[in-house]
Chains A and B, each alone.
Chain A
């Protein structure tokens, strides 16, 4: 994506991606939920992108997918359709390593069943574990950014949910004054 990165660490890429995605129109509507839930539902918009690792050991974000195109707005669906592969003309498609399926949850909710199914389907196409330089390993996961901000013009990045299909683990990461907390949840079989 132009004007984004590239980054030497995926943490820096996440740090940049979170406010960028949440700053898009109607990417966060939680502040409307009590006062005008109908407006919140109608305007809520999801954006999604891949964070991927290049042969040059850089972390990049793909173009944002916005499925709130006119076709989608006339239905009630509020989903985000993320293409399976990134088309980065600098590299052969097979040379890219897919790490995080990024998107936003306008209401700040946790990973949905469809999110988990999506990333599990992606795990049948992409590697579950990728090796970076120095033999570090990263697991494929889906991430949903959220903001608790009441200011729609300047939403803050307050954290994200992350689901890792390889371990069936969901983590809620929250940020307060640059300190991070996590709650680790395991998905139990029904």
Chain B
């Protein structure tokens, strides 16, 4: 009998000392929620050494829900970069939803470079429920800027995995979720635009290697800094042709290539 009791107690106790785990707060995964694209009236950095601030309880609870969901309390001996206090917490409230963005605070641990996919963002209801969370490289909505025939642009938000065209604006269920009228100035919002004449994925052509960021030696082009970036410009006279595979010579399969226009921006 005592041995049975001991067994029962050990099961109960093992439940009590359960290892803290992330994502322990139930979430609703409401993918219809679009994270704000605008900072509103401004992005204000809290400087507690210089000023005094008042934070309402609903925002404080939202921040606590996020930090405890991502960094479970009770875990000790974490490396500096994995600690709650080694991150920044940017937040904005839109109606009844508080949006929280978590990023690495490099200065806290004396680091210089961030980790890939190290961000996280949450949508929290005013009563403290997690409505949506996007961790690291999880799929999220995409912001596009499309050219209009009159030379203007229209900014839209789409489902992930969509390559929108202007015609899609008139098409139901095209994956376009929103036409954006506000300024897009929220940090870490990436805005994409399609290359003109490239409305659909381009079939491979021989001669350029997938993944290429390279200008072949025989391409007759070089790199120059112009307009704040590198652009390819013709070289005179062009170098002699090369059979080196680095030069993107035609090949089968992986090397079998792709279109003449490459990631290098060769135009």
Contacts and interface: CB of A to CB of B under 8 A. Distances in A.
B108 interface: no
Contacts of B40: none
Contacts of A75: 22, 70-72, 75, 78, 82
B202 to A, nearest CB: 6
Contacts of B217: 134-136
B139 A41 contact: no
Contact of A181 (B103, B117, B203, B239): B203
Nearest to A17: B211
Contact of B213 (A106, A116, A122, A141): A141
Contacts, number: 276
B184, B212, B223, B259: which has the most chain A beta carbons within 10 Å?
B212
A79 B158 CA distance: 25
B137 A112 contact: yes
Interface residues of A, number: 87
Interface in B177-221: 183-186, 188-195, 198, 201-204, 209-217
Contacts of B79: 71
Query: Chain A at the B interface: mostly helix, strand, loop or mixed?
Result: mixed
B265 A76 contact: no
B17 to A, nearest CB: 14
B119 interface: yes
B22 A11 contact: no
Interface of B: 19-23, 29, 69-72, 75, 77-79, 81-82, 103, 112-120, 135-140, 142, 145, 160, 163, 183-186, 188-195, 198, 201-204, 209-217, 222-223, 229-231, 239, 242, 244-247, 251-259, 261-265
8 contacts: A77-B135, A109-B137, A109-B140, A115-B116, A138-B213, A143-B211, A185-B192, A190-B191
Interface of A: 8-12, 14-15, 37-38, 41-42, 44, 46, 48, 67, 71-72, 74-82, 84, 99-101, 103, 105-110, 112-118, 121-122, 128-129, 132-144, 160, 162, 164, 166-175, 178-190
